[in-house]
Structure 1
Amino acid sequence: MLYPQLFADLEKARWNMADDIPWDQFDAALLTDDQAMTIKMNAITEWSALPATEMFLRDNRDDSDFSAFMSIWFYEEQKHSLVLMEYLRRFRPELCPTEEELHAVRFEFDPAPPLETLMLHFCGEVRLTQWYRRASEWHTEPVIKQIYKTLSTDEARHGGAYLKYMKRAIERCGVEAKQAFAKIGFLMASSARSGKPLHPTNLHVNKDLYPNDTVQSRLPDPEWLERWLDEQIQFGKEWEARVVGGILRNLSSLFDVALETTGDLNRYRKQLMV
Structure 2
Amino acid sequence: MLYPELFVSLEKARWNMQEDIPWHQFDGSLLTDEQAHTVKMNAITEWAALPATEMFLRDNRDDSDFSAFMSIWFYEEQKHALVLMEYLRRFRPELCPTEAELHAVRFDFDPAPKLETLMLHFCGEVRLTQWYRRAAEWHTEPVIKFIYDTISRDEARHGGAYLKYMRRAIERCGLEAQRAFAKIGVLMASSNRAGKPLHPTNLHVNQSLFPNDTVQSRLPDPDWLERWLDKQIQFGKEWEERVVGGILRNLSSLFDVEFKSVADLNRFRKGLSPVAS
The TM-score by the shorter chain falls in which range?
A: over 0.9
User: 1:250 aligns to what?
Assistant: 250
Give the Å deviation of 1:32.
0.1
User: Residues 49-93 of structure 1: CA distance to partner in whole angstroms, max 9, x if unpaired?
Assistant: 000000000000000000000000000000000000000000000
User: 2:77 aligns to what?
Assistant: 77
User: 1:48 aligns to what?
Assistant: 48
In structure 2, what is the Cα distance between the partners aligned to 1:125 and 1:273? 28
**1:149-188 alignment, distance < 5 Å:** 149-188=149-188
User: 2:133 aligns to what?
Assistant: 133
**1:58-137 alignment, distance < 5 Å:** 58-137=58-137
Q: Secondary structure at the match of 1:105?
A: coil
Residue identity opposite 2:121 in structure 1: H
Q: Secondary structure at the match of 1:163?
A: helix
Q: Secondary structure at the match of 1:162?
A: helix
Residue identity opposite 1:122 in structure 2: F
User: 2:236 aligns to what?
Assistant: 236
Identity among equivalent pairs (%): 84
User: Normalized against structure 2, the TM-score is what?
Assistant: 0.99
Give the Å deviation of 1:253.
0.4
Residue identity opposite 1:11 in structure 2: E
Q: Secondary structure at the match of 1:84?
A: helix
4+ runs of 1 displaced by more than 6 Å? none
In structure 1, what is the Cα distance between the partners aligned to 2:67 and 2:159? 16
In structure 1, what is the Cα distance between the partners aligned to 2:249 and 2:8? 26
Quote the RMSD (CA, aligned, Å).
0.3
In structure 1, what is the Cα distance between the partners aligned to 2:168 and 2:17? 33
User: Residues 229-267 of structure 1: CA distance to partner in whole angstroms, max 9, x if unpaired?
Assistant: 000000000000000000000000000001010000000
Give the Å deviation of 1:180.
0.1
Residue identity opposite 1:60 in structure 2: N
Q: Secondary structure at the match of 1:19?
A: coil
User: 1:222 aligns to what?
Assistant: 222
Give the Å deviation of 1:29.
0.2
In structure 2, what is the Cα distance between the partners aligned to 1:75 and 1:232? 29
In structure 2, what is the Cα distance between the partners aligned to 1:145 and 1:230? 19
Residue identity opposite 1:238 in structure 2: E
Give the Å deviation of 1:48.
0.1
In structure 1, what is the Cα distance between the partners aligned to 2:39 and 2:266? 36
User: 2:269 aligns to what?
Assistant: 269
User: 1:9 aligns to what?
Assistant: 9
User: 1:34 aligns to what?
Assistant: 34
In structure 1, what is the Cα distance between the partners aligned to 2:272 and 2:34? 47
Residue identity opposite 2:159 in structure 1: G
User: Residues 13-69 of structure 1: CA distance to partner in whole angstroms, max 9, x if unpaired?
Assistant: 000000100000000000000000000000000000000000000000000000000
In structure 2, what is the Cα distance between the partners aligned to 1:143 and 1:182? 39
Give the Å deviation of 1:178.
0.2
In structure 2, what is the Cα distance between the partners aligned to 1:273 and 1:103? 42
> Runs of 5+ in structure 1 lacking a partner?
none
In structure 2, what is the Cα distance between the partners aligned to 1:190 and 1:269? 14
Give the Å deviation of 1:273.
1.8
In structure 2, what is the Cα distance between the partners aligned to 1:61 and 1:273? 29
In structure 2, what is the Cα distance between the partners aligned to 1:197 and 1:240? 10
In structure 1, what is the Cα distance between the partners aligned to 2:185 and 2:164? 16
Q: Secondary structure at the match of 2:111?
A: coil
User: 2:196 aligns to what?
Assistant: 196
